[in-house]
Amino acid sequence: MGVEICVEGLTKSFGHQVIWQDVSLTLPAGEVSVMLGPSGTGKSVFLKTLVGLLKPDRGSVTVAGRDITKLREHDLYEVRKLFGVLFQDGALFGSMNLYDNIAFPLREHTRKSESEIRRIVLEKMDMVGLLGAEAKLPGEISGGMRKRAGLARALVLDPEIILFDEPDSGLDPVRVAYLNQLIVDLNAQIDATFLIVTHDIASARQVPDNIGLLFRRELVMFGPREQLLTSDEPVVRQFLNGRMQGPIGMAEEKDAAQVEQELAQIREPTRTPGSRPLTPRLLPGPGITRPPRWEAIATREAELQRKEVTGA
Ligand SMILES: Nc1ncnc2c1ncn2[C@@H]1O[C@H](COP(=O)(O)OP(=O)(O)O)[C@@H](O)[C@H]1O
Ligand SMILES: [Mg+2]
């Protein structure tokens, strides 16, 4: 069913450099959340803090009822088994074929027999569409296939939570579309809690239940997808529309006067009906049962869309 992750007052710095501070959010069990933010805002650091690879300065991360920031190494090791992580580059071993790469966590962390391992590896390879590529080396396949292999490896221990670090980076738009569909399908099938870090706006619009935005060392906003997509908050508007005008600049920050001037230029003080259409959600593919929460979400989104179009 997936587990909830509750983050409260989380702050992380390296030396004197504060990466982000006072981050609080709840990743609801079984839902898909996306964390957006410009490069260098600490998205990868956030994921590493969630799995306990990095220790925060302050705050708590409660996973399945336990604050992982307070756990000793042995207990942390147990909690970490709840997580599957897809690192940015897939993090595959270059000298191992895909089969052995995907089998690795099972051989390392379980006492399963090779025949049992074989059953699991082939099942996960099938789920991500890699059946038949067992003998390939990571260097012999496309970036998209490497991501899927990394995903299959993240799945073998049947995680309750899956963290994706920029799964779409380095992929062409068609491969990104396939990967997004795979993520939505997987979530419907295995029901784990997903957190995807990305700066791909198109993916962020279509895939998740919830969206968060990290900017200037703060979590600007975190909430249901439709709330962010229709938000009036300038940073959220700028990021989700991929515009140059606004608080986010090339060098991360602009001075306040410039931001004021640019925001005045955009001139959208009054929202006109239909001006912020809600991008349709990506649905699970044919033959895949939708999770129960989808009905409530569809009703909520239809209502919001009606208001947006009629201006009511
Ligand atoms: N282990 C580390 N030690 C010191 N600084 C780090 C470490 N890991 C990341 N940083 C710094 O934290 C900031 C955020 O990095 P990162 O999380 O990789 O950003 P993002 O993933 O959003 O692009 C960067 O300035 C980076 O240099
Ligand atoms: Mg990163």
Nearest-CA residue for atom 3 of ligand 1: 14
pLDDT on residue 279: 82
Cα 42 to averaged position of ligand 2 atoms, centre (Å): 7
pLDDT on residue 303: 81
Residue 54 alpha carbon, nearest atom of ligand 1 = 1
Cα 89 to averaged position of ligand 2 atoms, centre (Å): 11
Query: What is the DSSP secondary structure assignment for residue 213, as one 8-state letter?
Result: E
Residue 42 alpha carbon, nearest atom of ligand 1 = 17
Residue 18, ligand 1, Cβ within 6 A: no
Residue 45 alpha carbon, nearest atom of ligand 1 = 17
What's the predicted TM-score (pTM) here? 0.88
Nearest-CA residue for atom 2 of ligand 1: 14
The crossing angle, in degrees rounded to 10, of helices 143-155 and 114-127 is 130
CA-CA-CA-CA dihedral for 52, 53, 56, 62, to nearest 10: -10
Residue 42, ligand 1, Cβ within 6 A: yes
Residue 77, ligand 1, Cβ within 6 A: no
pLDDT on residue 265: 59
Query: Rounded CA gap, 49 and 39, in Å?
Result: 17
Cα 198 to averaged position of ligand 1 atoms, centre (Å): 15
Helix (H) or strand (E) holding 177: helix 173-190
pLDDT on residue 253: 57
pLDDT on residue 168: 86
Question: Distances in Å between the alpha carbon of 210 and those of 26, 119, 173, 216, 297?
Answer: 10, 34, 22, 20, 11
Mean pLDDT per segment of 10 residues, for the chain of length 312 residues? 92 96 96 92 94 95 93 89 84 93 93 96 93 95 90 94 91 88 92 91 91 92 90 82 67 61 56 66 87 82 76 62
**Total residue length of the chain:** 312
